[in-house]
Amino acid sequence: MTEPIRDVAVVGAGPAGLVAALLARSHGASVTLVAPKAPPRDERTVAMLGASVEILQQAGVWPALADKAAPLRTMRIVDGTRRLIRAPLVEFHAHEVGREAFGYNIPNAVLVEALDAALEEAGVERVTAFASDIRPADDFVTIDTPDQGSIRAKLVGAADGRRSRARDAANLSVRSWSYPQAALVANISHSLPHDDVSTEFHTETGPFTIVPMPGLHSAIVCVESPAEAERLSKLDDDQLAAEFERRAHSILGKITLRGPRQVFPLSGQTARHFAARRIALIGEAAHVFPPIGAQGLNLGLRDAAAFAAIVRDHAADPGSASAMAAYDRARAGDILSRTTAVDALNRTLLTDFLPIQALRGIGLYAIDRVPMLKRVVMRQGLAPRV
């Protein structure tokens, strides 16, 4: 018996891929999700900003997340360097752009659990297996699995990460680079309230970021040299808590570690095009950059929304050449501008070149002192809805 051709298959079960599958299904498409069993529980959190919250509302999962999320009402940037030229303290307040909050910080595991439940309720077919081979043809793409047969679909969402097999099948090349940095990620509790303020200390090695969680809890992302990040990760809980408290200038009072810590090397990657041969790139298959300004997954959710819009607007054949061209156009500007901005900001922290340090300081000073410019920057950070 010939395997039926689905409208859509999504490869990968990270949050961006799950949202893409859910939104595509909401437009009436037949959707199959192809991904192995979920990895061990991820202790990281994700800051969902502006448009991302609206996308989660559109996907119908926000009610399951709202009471487990911490609002981000103020975003604070502190120059924690010891350089001759330093930038001023800058605070962005959501009420300045007519919002109650810029977004919400959500545990990654909670987000994935809510999306999994919504997919089951929506009737998305799940194939719990690796995609061992992906073969585009004129009218469909075939996805082979080791032990669950093959799936055929008119359109494939490549949400299978930075080493995407689906991207390779589409012959979409990437530009890659690395940073002399690694991110140490941990969750903490603290004695003083965070007051819904996310604080990003900019240091010579990268940002040290404190992101609110519900109650007297926060998430820490500490970007350091790989050797220093590894050294910090091996400290006992009391020693690491004391180090975090020092780096945070005790703004949260006494800090206590909660749960394990994780270390991730930092790198960057951008695809040169974002769709071809009935395969569209979503999330880290399309773009990878450092954890600055909470932009990574937010960009991936906008990929997911654009992917679903293509399914809606090209219902007869969502993988057609015209659909792929439309998706590439829809994502190119957002991805390239966001990747370039984050890369440039990260490099200004690492450089010892005084003119670059001066430009960074002047830029932040202007943002802080010119209300119209500040509002433009805040709205750009939230991003327009796709």
Whole-number pLDDT of residue 89: 78
In a domain, 183, yes or no: no
What is the band of 40 on the pLDDT scale with cuts at 50, 70, 90? low
pLDDT grade, residue 350 (50/70/90)? low
Rounded to whole angstroms, what are the CA distances from 133 to 150, 170, 377?
9, 12, 43
Number of domains in the chain: 1
Token pair for residue 68? 């487990």
Confidence of residue 130 (pLDDT cuts 50, 70, 90): very high
308 occurs within a structural domain? yes
Does the pLDDT of residue 44 top 90, yes or no? no
Residue 237 lies in a domain: no
**Quick one: pLDDT at residue 143?**
98
Is the separation of the CB atoms in 125 and 10 below 8 Å? no
Query: For residue 177, which amino acid is it?
Result: W
Question: 201 and 209 in contact (C-beta within 8 Å)?
Answer: yes
Binning pLDDT at 50, 70 and 90, where does residue 87 land? low
What pLDDT is stored for residue 159 in this prediction?
A: 97
Percent of the chain whose pLDDT exceeds 70: 85
Is the model more confident about 262 or about 374? 262
**261 falls in which pLDDT band (50, 70, 90)?**
very high
pLDDT score for 372:
64
What pLDDT band is residue 50 in, cutting at 50, 70 and 90? confident
- 222-231 pLDDT, tens digit per residue, is 999 999 999 9
Question: Which domain covers residue 170, as residue numbers?
Answer: 5-69+106-176+268-351
Structure tokens at 322: 């015209």
DSSP 3-state of 25 = helix
Q: Give the end-to-end CA distance of the chain in Å, rounded to a whole number.
A: 40
Return the number of other C-beta atoms located less than 10 Å from residue 60's C-beta.
16
276 belongs to a structural domain: yes
* 206: its two tokens: 């990268």
| Backbone φ and ψ of 232, nearest 5° | -60, -40
Q: Is residue 211 part of a domain?
A: no
CA distance 367 to 377: 8
- Which amino acid belongs to residue 231? R
Q: Cα 293 from chain centroid?
A: 10
Residue 356 predicted with pLDDT over 60: no
The torsion angles phi and psi of 163, rounded to 5 degrees, stand at -105, 45
| Integer Cα distance of 251 and 241 in angstroms | 13
Which of 146-155, 192-201, 292-301, 376-385 has the least mean pLDDT?
376-385
Torsion of CA 169, 173, 175, 176, to 10 degrees: 30
Distant-in-sequence, close-in-space partners of 242: CB < 8 Å, separation ≥ 6: 255
- Decide if 170 is inside a domain: yes
pLDDT value of residue 193: 97
pLDDT score of 275 more than 60: yes
In a domain, 148, yes or no: yes
Average pLDDT of the chain is 88
Residue 163 sits in a domain of what CATH number? 3.50.50.60
Span 25-35, mean pLDDT?
Answer: 97
DSSP string computed for 156-170: EEE-S-TT-HHHHHT
Residue 170 pLDDT > 80: yes
Are 60 and 118 within 8 A, CB to CB? yes
Can you give the pLDDT at residue 353? 41
Check: CB of residue 226 under 8 Å from CB of residue 180.
yes
Assess if residue 40 is contained within a domain: yes
